[in-house]
Chain A
């Protein structure tokens, strides 16, 4: 399996956006804390790993060596 740098960047920005929007909705009282928490439990881990993949991957080559010794 190979992942493109642009793809993980998209996953990161989408995840960060969802986390920020859910936090904003909670602070404005539109969603309860339980919903905000459920969103973060699902999205935060993926966002963190996507961020790490994004800044680790080199510009040249484009692909992240994802498998194999």
Chain B
């Protein structure tokens, strides 16, 4: 299993590299090679590292370990066909981890990044509604049960297309250079990760690779049903292409606009969930 975990991390980083390359090509820039994020992780791991004197050293180090740990847990929940609710919980924990990254450093840039991470929690509410719609259709939140439902009734992307759009929006909000990436905005230098450099940043890159792999794999499993490994990997590449186009052609929004749009999407999703509840389970 450790081999799968390491390969998933590397593939996630490769997907982030493809994402960066595509954004650059769409914007008529040459862009970095697709394996740049893997090189990035290795580069940071060779840099000199220390803990800033303004930082809370225990939290500063622990938050990197927690970031890798929670996405390792999410990977195993996915592999074991566990509950979607646990993955949702881990996704929420990631918000707390981002906040911890920002606060632990003692840097104002990091702190603002952490605070923005909290206010961008609005992006998670469509995820709750998506999960509720899936539960209405499948009567379960176990990934195995969701896959079995789709084997009988067809992919959920057809039956619950708005829920898929909402979850896509949630994944988009987690992608770098996206319209909702307010936690990493340039006016905050690197946002919550400003002071985490060297080995700490390399650890964060490992966590980002795993996070990207898990989020895309969960999306494909929940909305397309059982996929063999080649189809899963192909689907993830296609999904990252779609995400790259979305990121490349939309500017980064201000925090206020970002939260407003996500709140509006939540409102629409609540209306959709109410309709589904009345029609599917009257």
Contact = CB atoms under 8 A, between A and B. Distances in A.
A41 B64 contact: no
A67 B3 CA distance: 33
Contacts, number: 86
Select the residue from B47, B199, B202 with max chain A CB neighbours within 10 A: B199
Given A33-B76, A65-B50, A26 B1 contact: yes
Please list the 4 inter-chain residue pairs (A to B) with the smallest Cβ-Cβ separation, ordered nearest first. Answer: A37-B76, A45-B68, A52-B45, A45-B65
Contacts of A11: none
Interface in B126-170: none
Given A33-B76, A44-B69, A44-B72, A49 B1 contact: no
Interface stretch (B20-28, B51-59, B108-116, B244-252): B51-59
Interface of B: 1-3, 5, 45-53, 57, 64-69, 72-73, 76, 79-80, 198-199, 202-203, 206
Contacts of A44: 2, 5, 68-69, 72
A59 to B, nearest CB: 14
Select the residue from B2, B51, B57, B76 with max chain A CB neighbours within 10 A: B2
B64 A45 contact: yes
Contacts of A19: 2
A20 interface: yes
Select the residue from A1, A36, A37 with max chain B CB neighbours within 10 A: A37
Interface in A5-30: 19-20, 22-23, 26-27
Nearest to A67: B51
A34 B68 CA distance: 18
B72 A33 contact: no
Contacts of B206: 48
